[in-house]
Amino acid sequence: MVTIKHITENKKQFLDLLLLADEQEDMIDKYLPQGDMFALYDGDLKSPTTTTTQCSMVSYSLLI
For residue 47, give the 3-state DSSP assignment: strand
- Give per-residue pLDDT as tens, 5-46: 888 899 999 888 888 888 899 988 888 888 888 888 888 777
Number of structural domains (the chain) is 1
Q: What pLDDT was estimated at residue 25?
A: 92
- pLDDT recorded at residue 59: 53
> Per the confidence metrics, is the pTM higher than 0.85?
no
Residue 53's pLDDT band, with cuts at 50, 70 and 90, is: low
pLDDT value for 50? 66
Structural domain harbouring 39: 2-62
CATH of the domain at 24: 3.40.630.30
Beta carbons of 48 and 14 less than 8 angstroms apart: yes
Under 8 Å between Cβ of 36 and 51: yes
**What DSSP designation does 13 have?**
G
